[in-house]
Structure 1
Amino acid sequence: MWSLTPAGLEAAAGELGRPVREMGGLARGAGRAGAGHALCVGETIWELCPRPAPTPEGPQGAPDARAMPGGFGTIDSWSTEVPLPATGTGTGTMAGRGGAQADAVLTAPEDGVPLLFAEVDTCHMDAQRIAAKLDKYLRFFKRTVKDGRNRQVPMWRTRWDAGGDTDWNVSRRLPLLLVFHRIGTRSPHFTWELVTERSREHWQGHRTEYGYDNFDGEIPLLFTTIDVLREHGPTAPVFHRAGRDKPQTLIDAVGDPVRDAI
């Protein structure tokens, strides 16, 4: 297993034109577990990205751009092993005490996905541990720091420019997608049911006087499996959102159609 030193990461960031903090690091447990989890994260990113179809072919045998299936962002739109510190005074390069480490983060405002956090589970982790990680996510989302004008702003906004206010209204709703790879013995659907029940306080909205549920400050919690993604693609209605009774497209699953119509 080879990895870049901090100087190497900095050099690579310069070549790619990306901030050093987005370059990631060595996947957790790669040497101990044969990089199984890291491979699943990579496959998840691949399945969510658009990619050339093998046919038809364009000039010089290259894939025809018109045959590009739908998806979100590009490989460069993703960061992996992203620390989400809940406390501390550092630069956010480590999750620290009470913080989380996001498996992957997507920023693709050009495709209607200003900011999406993704967690990949290989069906080894119990539902309580997954639900506990949601609590760490929420602590990070609610954390504020002072900006250049000495104003208190959400810390995540100092790290990602999620395109400002969008249809998803990311200033209040930061979606988290759970993608299950059935490698272990646990059932993805049963685990999902337990996770939603044990994390209800983090995703359930409250009814307003205008007849819609307000999800301000809550996490839109989504679920799918790699098998379904692989079969139907990322733009199909394959995403379940906690509190809803049928799968939707990614954009619809995160949105709030009743609120948007008012």
Structure 2
Amino acid sequence: MAHPTLLLVFNRIGPGDPGTVIAHLAKLTEGHWRGAAYEGDFHMYDGKLPIVATGIKHLKEHGPAGAVFPRFSRPQNQMLLEAIGNPRRAVARSVPNEGVGRQSGRSFSRVSHVPSGVR
């Protein structure tokens, strides 16, 4: 079952650096959001919680449509809809029954039939 994305917005109060806080939080929660890596740069995030974080200062400077949202597990800041979305979902659904990766000698393939209402 997929979890909804958790969006955290930090407001700087006191001497703490929000960038450091976000990095520390990502490290502490890694087991909850890090996916399993497979061949071909494919990752499986079943049962994982997508986490997106930013600071009020960045939102004020760039607005909510700016690329100010780092998602834990992704290397760069993104716009909100990109950060909470899954850009590979459309690609994955457009290629039915093809293998998506391999881990520990096991091969995985996509389900050819997705019930209506799920897409």
**Fold in common (TM above 0.5):** yes
1:226 corresponds to which of 56, 61, 66:
56
Instruction: Report the equivalent of 2:108.
Output: none
Q: Which one-letter code corresponds to 1:200 in the other structure?
A: E
Task: Provide the C-alpha distance between the structure 1 equivalents of 2:75 and 2:84, rounded to a whole number of angstroms.
Answer: 14
CA shift in 2, pair 1:260/1:213, >3 Å: farther
Report whether the alignment pairs 1:199 with 2:33. no
Q: Determine if contact 1:236/1:249 at 8 Å carries over to the other structure.
A: yes
Name the TM-score, length of structure 1 as normaliser. 0.33
Moved more, 231-240 or 204-213: 204-213
* Alpha-carbon displacement from aligned partner over 1:21-46 (angstroms, at most 9, x marks no partner): xxxxxxxxxxxxxxxxxxxxxxxxxx
Query: Judging changes above 3 Å, is the alpha-carbon distance between structure 1 residues 210 and 173 closer, same or farther for their aligned structure 2 residues?
Result: farther
Secondary structure in 1 matching 2:78 = coil
- Contact 1:222 / 1:240 at 8 angstroms: preserved in 2? yes
Matched, 1:183 2:13: yes
Q: Gaps (5+ residues) in structure 1?
A: 1-170
The alpha-carbon deviation at position 187 of structure 1 amounts to 0.9
Deviation at 1:261, TM superposition (A): 1.4
1:172 counterpart = 2:2: yes
RMSD: 1.8
Quick one: distance in 2 between partners of 1:261 and 1:249?
20
The 5-angstrom pairing of residues 5-24 of structure 1 reads none
Q: Which amino acid aligns with 1:179?
A: V
% identical equivalent positions: 36
Q: What is aligned with 1:254? A: 84
Distance 1:202 1:196 in 2: 9
Normalised by the length of structure 2, the TM-score is: 0.68
In the TM superposition, what is the alpha-carbon distance from 1:259 to its structure 2 partner? 3.8
Structure with more of its chain in helix, by fraction = 1
How many angstroms does 1:173 deviate by?
2.7
Displacement, 1:233? Answer: 1.1
Q: Cα 1:208–1:256, aligned 2, differ >3 Å: closer, same or farther?
A: farther
Q: Alpha-carbon deviations, 1:153-205, whole Å to 9, x = none?
A: xxxxxxxxxxxxxxxxxx50311111111112211111111111111000111
Deviations 1:126-165 (A, max 9, x none): xxxxxxxxxxxxxxxxxxxxxxxxxxxxxxxxxxxxxxxx
Please identify the structure whose Cα radius of gyration is greater.
Answer: 1
Cα shift readout 1:58-99 (whole Å, capped 9, x = no counterpart): xxxxxxxxxxxxxxxxxxxxxxxxxxxxxxxxxxxxxxxxxx
Contact (CA 8 Å) 1:212, 1:258: kept in 2 or not?
Answer: no
Displacement of 1:256: 2.3
- Equivalent residues of 1:240, 1:248 under 8 A apart: yes
Distance 2:12 2:37 in 1: 36
Determine the C-alpha separation between the residues in 2 that align with 1:241 and 1:247: 7
Q: Which has the higher strand share?
A: 2
- Distance, in Å, in 2 between the alignment partners of 1:176 and 1:199 is 12
SS of structure 2 residue aligned to 1:189: helix
Deviation at 1:210, TM superposition (A): 7.2
- Residue of structure 2 equivalent to 1:119: none
The count of corresponding residues between Structure 1 and Structure 2 is 92
The Cα shift of 1:211 comes to 4.9
